[in-house]
Amino acid sequence: MQLKLFNSMSRQEEPVFADKDETLRFYCCGPTVYAPAHIGNFRTFLLQDLFRRVIEATGLQTCHVRNVTDVDDKTIRGANENGESLSDFTAYWRAKFEADASELNCLPPHHAPSAVAHIPEQIALTEKLISKGLAYVADDHSVYYRISAFPDYGKLAGLNMEEMRPNADQRLNTSDEYDKESLNDFALWKAWKPEDGDFKWESPWGPGRPGWHLECSTMSMIYLGESFDLHSGGVDLKFPHHENEIAQSEGATGKPFVRHWFHINHLRVENQKMSKSLGNLYTLAEIKEWGFTPSELRYVLLSGHYRQPLNFSRESLTAAHSALQRIQKAAQNLGAESLSKSGSTTSIQSTRYSGVLQALCEDLNTPNALGKLHTALGNLEKEIKSNTLSEEDKPAEIAALESVCALLGVWPENKDNDASATVPDKILQLAEERLAAKTAKDWQKADALRDQIAAQGWQVKDSKHGYDLEKEKG
Ligand code: AMP
Ligand code: ZN
């Protein structure tokens, strides 16, 4: 089997293949480490993780690079506001990100380079672009990319640069970077400003710091070579970030930068954009406070097709909980207390779950894959019930179940070890009914349900996301 994936550059589904040594080389734009990553960020990182699991299940090896953006406007502002060094500030948020990613079962990338650690190479790339006439030094000692000198600019986003050329009035009104030759030119090197505080690096153009787009071009080419197989990020990165990376890398090397572009659409909450101002920006820590497990969140984030926006709701976590319970019950019926997390996916094609891999190979169709998983579980349940499975078949069935869990990266958690995950199904069900009653303004029913929940030793409290459940003490 081979994965076919939509390529945002060619705008069609294409087989994903490795250029060299059967190792697929791919780069994912990593987190900006200045605050906790939200569950939308993790939709993107989880899809990239799933992509890697599918590629490995089809027999290729991978070289997965995901950078850490530890120098940009947000990290510098955060460190200055906290009175900390940039490295202490970003190390804290990087560790938090890595802990969340690990709980969500993201395989650690083979390389996770820091932008700060590669400043000399970023300066070298900028010098190369200046020497080729593709960049210029402005009066304030910043360096800009000269878009008009790169005819292919706009090919990923499908832009017509002639139409985009601003008129003189627009230029005066909208550009606060007066030193640029053209409004669309973007910074490769940003000259130091007083608000940057102590955070600056020396360069041939004076003190300053690299631009974000330059960081990714540089690190991807250091770890994967001038041309590599695939590049990925959330859909918001397609323009200008990835367009600018292409201009920088292809401008400097004269070679094709990346063959396949993989963009993941956004997570939304109650059909609205996730944002701080709307108060609907959630983190893994909050989802765990609600009583759900990282695996349940992972299941939800995989449940929609990556090319469509996905709407997040609390109900979807409850549904994920039931789905994972179904896997747990199947494992127990086969005689396994819990499932091993080190299952191998290489022989999944010879199991009852081969349809799951098949669906994933068709443009990572996760809704279809989860449908196939449930059909296979249904058949397994029937066979268990009718005693058609022999004792000798059971170890292979357990291994098959472990392999499909390893492919998707979801496992039922062992509830005894996880205090946050002990809300019983019936309590969740009552809390959902109470929420529905409140939404329908049926206060009497809502109060009665709250009393019913209390009678079973749980307290339900209203919160911005619906409700919280707490076990009564004692
Ligand atoms: P950042 O830490 O802001 O650089 O973002 C890390 C990754 O998360 C990038 O690939 C973004 O495109 C992606 N991202 C940001 N917001 C969302 C969202 N709401 N849904 C899915 N991915 C997102
Ligand atoms: Zn990037």
Give the rounded percent of residues in the chain with a pLDDT score beyond 70.
Answer: 93
> For the chain, what is the mean pLDDT?
92
Which tens digit of pLDDT belongs to each residue from 396-405? 999 999 999 9
| Residue with CA closest to ligand 1 atom 18 | 40
Judge if the beta carbon of residue 234 lies within 6 A of ligand 1: yes
In this prediction, residue 435 has a pLDDT band, given cuts at 50, 70 and 90, of confident
In this prediction, residue 419 has a pLDDT band, given cuts at 50, 70 and 90, of very low
Secondary structure string (H, E, C) spanning the chain: CCCEEEECCCCEEEECCCCECCEEEEEECCCECCCCCCHHHHHHHHHHHHHHHHHHHCCCEEEEEECEECCCHHHHHHHHHHCCCHHHHHHHHHHHHHHHHHHCCCCCCCECCECHHHHHHHHHHHHHHHHCCCEEECCCCCEEECHHHCCCCCCCCCCCHHHHCCCHHHHHHHCCCCCCCCCCCCEEEEECCHHHCCCCECCCCCCEEECHHHHHHHHHHHHHCCCEEEEEEEHHHHHHHHHHHHHHHHHHHCCCCEEEEEEECCEEECCEECCCCCCCCCCHHHHHHCCCCHHHHHHHHHCCCCCCCEEECHHHHHHHHHHHHHHHHHHHHCCCCCCCCCCCCCCHHHCCCHHHHHHHHECCCHHHHHHHHHHHHHHHHHHHHCCCCCHHHHHHHHHHHHHHHHHHCCCCCCHHHCHHHCCCHHHHHHHHHHHHHHHCCCHHHHHHHHHHHHHCCEEEEEECCEEEEEECCC
Give pLDDT, residue 465.
57
Judge if the beta carbon of residue 266 lies within 6 A of ligand 1: yes
Nearest ligand 1 atom, CA 232: 10
Give pLDDT, residue 420.
42
Give the rounded percent of residues in the chain with a pLDDT score beyond 90.
Answer: 79
Across the range 423-434, mean pLDDT stands at 83
In this prediction, residue 178 has a pLDDT band, given cuts at 50, 70 and 90, of low
Judge if the beta carbon of residue 32 lies within 6 A of ligand 1: yes
The reported pTM is: 0.87
In this prediction, residue 417 has a pLDDT band, given cuts at 50, 70 and 90, of very low
| Residue with CA closest to ligand 1 atom 2 | 31
Judge if the beta carbon of residue 274 lies within 6 A of ligand 1: yes
Give pLDDT, residue 314.
87
Looking at 284-293, 306-315, 368-377, 423-432, which range is the least confident one? 423-432
pLDDT higher at 445 or 429: 445
Which tens digit of pLDDT belongs to each residue from 235-255? 999 999 999 999 999 999 999
Residue 79 reports pLDDT greater than 60: yes
